[in-house]
């Protein structure tokens, strides 16, 4: 599995690098603006309408304020000699301002609260739909670099992209940086990126400063001209002070507000581009449908698995045939080992049984029923998989084991852990089963991680067990403990063992030797030795061996 994965990654990375220039020139596509509200329900539309009305009222308050203020200014001028009347006018407009303040308070609250709430609701729905769509995709969806690039959000600013990429890489791989004493190199790389960013920052600062200075200078001179011209109107009796004040400050504040609004327009364009990427994933239909209602469930499972004339190539390497007219039979309740060199296709057997991929041609059968006709969730419930590198989540040991059967009792968890030779070391930990395993199980040793993965598989109690080089990455001491647990797990179920080490498959019922996507030999361990099998004449190398 590991070897084949390396090949896939290498090919993908090469094609990725080759396609970079084209991808840089590709114009970003965006959604129509109204599509951003695709996931709004009736309540969201009510919130958006209420928020828009609040925004309109809130926005109208400032011109109305200037209108009232202008009238009040006129009241000062007209009633200079009548103090009681002037006081009455001031009190009247002061009350108007109080009413206006209450209206502004309510409308601004409605504007901000409604739009923020509906925004959170719609973004939450979008995130859920996006994650659901990603999790429904075929494994082949993640094999190609272009697909992965669509999933991962990128930073838009080039300088920040360079700076963040280097800093994130060093921080994310901090253990590797420490182990290779690479702190200085990481700091130097980051410092170089910062220096390049600073140079661009100086130039941008000069340009922005000059532009901003000119803008404010012109604005102030324009205001001076407007005030002078208003004075001419008042002197000639064509207007009064209140109207002039209202017109001048309405124009000034309106212009400033309009100018400030332009900075927010960028959010619309960014949102449309980001929305396009999200919608592309959400709308994409996987070839392997994962709707729970699709397919049938068998009333009982014996565990006979058969590959019949299977032809297959990975989506990321369609020109490289892994299998061509490949056929093999795994009898129910038996343990069959699949061995072969790197790239021979042995781990692909596991992927096709799990239905991570569908064959290009031919059939994979479970009890003489094509896997394509079975309900995918039900099928995978019948299968337990233990990989070379166990997948542990950054949570507690208990929750990692419960992933095999979420409704299991604590007694069931402990029984599974005991059978996997894991209970003893778990109970010695300070927090026992509530111990956090860390990101990818970094707090545990390889043998401990593998035993937790085996406990998870035991708790699931599957009819079919797939062991993909489950002990190949372990040292001799850990291997013996894990192998003992695996021997318990294999009893009474169909087991397919993908192996590099011949020592781990001595006791299996049958060994199938695969070369170049074909079964070239089958037999027991003793039978293959007796007839001088190629897998014993040319032993299959362990990972890392030449």
CATH classification number, 301-382+464-470+493-538, choose in 1.10.3730.10, 3.30.70.260, 3.40.630.40, 3.40.50.300? 3.40.50.300
| pLDDT tens string 271-312 | 667 667 777 777 777 767 656 567 888 888 888 999 999 999
Domain ranges across the chain: 29-136+256-290, 301-382+464-470+493-538, 389-461
- State the pLDDT at residue 176: 43
Whether residue 422 is predicted with pLDDT greater than 60 in this model: the reply is yes
Identify the burial level of 319 via C-beta atoms within 10 angstroms of its C-beta, where 0-12 means exposed, 13-18 middle and 19 or more buried: exposed
Helix, strand or coil, per DSSP, at residue 395: coil
Q: Walk across the sheet containing 518-523 and list its strands.
A: 383-386, 464-468, 494-499, 335-340, 510-515, 518-523
Mean pLDDT of all residues in 354-378? 88
Using the predicted structure, report yes or no on whether residue 184 has a pLDDT greater than 80: no
How far is 131 from 128, CA to CA, in rounded Å? Answer: 5
Sequence-ordered list of residues with C-beta below 8 angstroms from that of 356, at least 6 positions apart, any chain = 138, 139, 140
What single DSSP character describes residue 516? T
Each residue's pLDDT tens digit, 85-142: 777 777 787 788 888 888 888 888 888 888 888 888 887 777 777 777 777 776 666 6
What's the whole-model pTM score?
Answer: 0.61
Residues β-bridged to residue 336 = 496, 510
Alpha helices of 32-153 — where are they, by DSSP H? 42-78, 83-136, 145-151
User: Span 222-243, mean pLDDT?
Assistant: 70
Per-residue confidence at 385, pLDDT binned at 50, 70, 90? confident
Q: Matching CATH topology for 301-382+464-470+493-538 and 389-461? A: yes
Question: Which are the contacts of 65, defined by CB distance < 8 A and separation ≥ 6?
Answer: 97, 100
Query: Tokens 């509200």 belong to which residue?
Result: 37
User: 389-461 belongs to which CATH class?
Assistant: alpha beta
Reported as type and span, the H/E element at residue 254 is helix 241-283
Reported as a pLDDT band with limits 50, 70 and 90, residue 318 is confident
Give yes or no for a contact between 505 and 497, defined as CB atoms under 8 angstroms apart.
Answer: yes
């Amino acid at each position: 599995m590991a070897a084949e994965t390396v090949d896939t990654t290498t090919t993908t990375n090469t094609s990725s690098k080759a396609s970079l220039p084209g991808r840089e020139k590709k114009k970003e596509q965006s959604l129509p603006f109204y599509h951003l509200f695709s996931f709004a329900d009736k309540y969201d539309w009510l919130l958006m309408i209420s928020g828009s009305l609040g925004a309109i009222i809130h926005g109208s308050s400032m011109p109305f304020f200037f209108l009232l203020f202008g009238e009040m200014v006129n009241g000062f001028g007209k009633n200079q000699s009548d103090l009681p009347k002037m006081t009455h006018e001031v009190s009247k407009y002061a009350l108007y301002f109080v009413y206006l303040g209450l209206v502004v308070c309510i409308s601004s609250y409605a504007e901000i609260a409604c739009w923020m709430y509906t925004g959170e609701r719609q973004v939450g729905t979008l995130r859920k739909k996006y994650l659901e769509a990603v999790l429904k995709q075929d494994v082949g969806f993640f094999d190609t670099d272009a697909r992965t690039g669509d999933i991962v959000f990128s930073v838009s600013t080039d300088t920040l992209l360079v700076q963040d990429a280097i800093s994130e890489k060093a921080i994310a791989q901090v253990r590797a940086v420490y182990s290779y004493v690479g702190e200085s190199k990481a700091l130097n790389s980051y410092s170089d990126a910062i220096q390049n960013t600073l140079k661009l920052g100086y130039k941008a600062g000069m340009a922005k400063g000059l532009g901003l200075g000119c803008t404010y200078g012109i604005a102030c001179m324009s205001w001076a001209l407007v005030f002078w011209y208003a004075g001419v109107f008042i002197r000639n009796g064509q207007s009064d002070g209140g109207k002039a004040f209202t017109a001048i400050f309405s124009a000034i504040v309106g212009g400033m507000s309009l100018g400030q609004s332009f900075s927010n327009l960028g959010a619309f364009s960014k949102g449309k581009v980001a929305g396009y990427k999200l919608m592309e994933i959400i709308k994409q239909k996987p070839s392997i449908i994962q709707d729970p209602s699709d397919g049938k469930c068998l009333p009982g499972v014996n565990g006979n698995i058969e590959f019949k004339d299977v032809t297959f190539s990975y989506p990321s390497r369609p020109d490289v045939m892994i299998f061509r007219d490949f056929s093999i039979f795994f009898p129910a309740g038996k343990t069959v080992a699949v061995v072969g060199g790197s790239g021979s296709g042995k781990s692909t057997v596991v992927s096709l049984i799990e239905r991570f991929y569908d064959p290009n041609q031919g059939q994979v059968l479970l009890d003489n029923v094509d896997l394509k006709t079975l309900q995918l969730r039900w099928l995978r419930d019948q299968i337990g998989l233990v990989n070379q590198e166990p997948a542990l989540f950054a949570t507690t040991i208990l929750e990692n084991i419960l992933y095999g059967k979420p409704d299991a009792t604590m007694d069931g968890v402990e029984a599974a852990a005991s059978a996997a030779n894991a209970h003893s070391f778990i109970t010695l930990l300070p927090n026992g089963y509530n111990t956090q395993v860390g990101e990818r199980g970094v707090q545990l040793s390889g043998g401990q991680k593998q035993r937790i993965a085996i406990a998870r598989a035991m708790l699931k109690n599957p009819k079919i067990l797939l062991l993909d080089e489950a002990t190949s990455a372990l040292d001799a001491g850990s291997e013996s403990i894990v192998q003992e647990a695996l021997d318990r797990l294999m009893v009474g179920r169909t087991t397919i063992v993908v192996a590099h080490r011949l020592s781990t498959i001595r006791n299996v019922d049958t060994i199938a030797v695969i070369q170049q996507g074909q079964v070239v030999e089958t037999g027991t361990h003793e039978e293959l030795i007796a007839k001088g099998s190629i897998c014993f004449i040319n032993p299959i190398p362990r990972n890392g061996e030449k």
